Chains A and B, each alone.
Chain A
Amino acid sequence: EIVLTQSPATLSLSPGERATLSCRASQSVGSYLAWYQQKPGQAPRLLIYDASNRATGIPARFSGSGSGTDFTLTISSLEPEDFAVYYCQQRSNWPPGYTFGQGTKLEIK
């Protein structure tokens, strides 16, 4: 099973700052990686799919990069509504699975 490790566990920043979140896979997942945002009491929201493609309606300040085992989600200038928990997810064809990372909490400094 492919394991995803997200870092840091918690990131404390101020509005307007740049956020960089990391996701590392235990083996190559190619570009089959997605990023989600989740706020308390809400379902996850897809931000980025296939490593670097923004989902429908996602602001341009969110960007994804990477391939293979190392991936990054960047939020260029934090808005108040961006403070939430972020998860990465991989898709593997063999064995078939879609595991999540443990999450990064982005909190207001």
Chain B
Amino acid sequence: QVQLVESGGGVVQPGRSLRLSCAASGFTFSGYALHWVRQAPGKGLEWVAVISYDGSNKYYADSVKGRFTISRDNSKNTLYLQMNSLRGEDTAVYYCAREYDDFPDVWGKGTTVTVSS
């Protein structure tokens, strides 16, 4: 079945870096755009970034532009989010999601990132 599994979350100090991964299975990975979406504790959903099916186009929320980089490896069926210069407000559950018919349709269970000294 279609599945997305995030990993790489953890506790990190402010100003440091972290890379999240999202492993996909059950569908043709290279045919879909992919998203990262986050949710701070007790808060709503915040869209973070999207990457096109071939990696040629990438777009970011203003809150992460210049600090986060989305990428993908279609040979490994894996999506990445490189997060640099982390801040306390980046603390959240990070979800990866596949886009189908204009919107994210399949979501992973999420990985938790905590930015704290």
Contacts and interface: CB of A to CB of B under 8 A. Distances in A.
Interface of A: 1, 32, 34, 36, 38, 42-46, 49-50, 53, 55-56, 85, 87, 89, 91, 96-103
B47 A100 contact: yes
12 contacts: A34-B103, A38-B45, A43-B107, A44-B104, A45-B107, A46-B103, A89-B45, A91-B103, A96-B50, A98-B103, A100-B45, A101-B44
Contacts of B37: 44
A82 B95 CA distance: 22
Contacts of A102: 44
Sorting the interface of chain B by its residue count into under 10, 10 to 19, 20 to 34 or 35 or more gives 20 to 34
Interface of B: 35, 37, 44-47, 50, 59, 61-62, 95, 101-105, 107-110
The 5 closest A-B pairs by CB, nearest first: A43-B107, A96-B59, A34-B103, A98-B47, A100-B45
A50 B102 CA distance: 7
A43 B101 contact: no
Contacts, number: 58
Nearest to A50: B102
Contacts of A42: 109
Contact of B102 (A45, A49, A96): A49
Contacts of A36: 45
Contact of A100 (B46, B59, B101): B46
A89 B47 contact: yes
B14 to A, nearest CB: 25
Nearest to A85: B44
A50 B110 CA distance: 25
Contact of A43 (B46, B102, B108): B108
A101 B45 CA distance: 8
B92 to A, nearest CB: 13
Nearest to A91: B102
Contacts of A99: 47
Given A98-B35, A98-B50, 15 more contacts: A1-B62, A38-B45, A43-B95, A44-B104, A49-B102, A49-B105, A50-B102, A56-B105, A85-B44, A89-B47, A91-B102, A96-B50, A96-B59, A101-B44, A103-B44
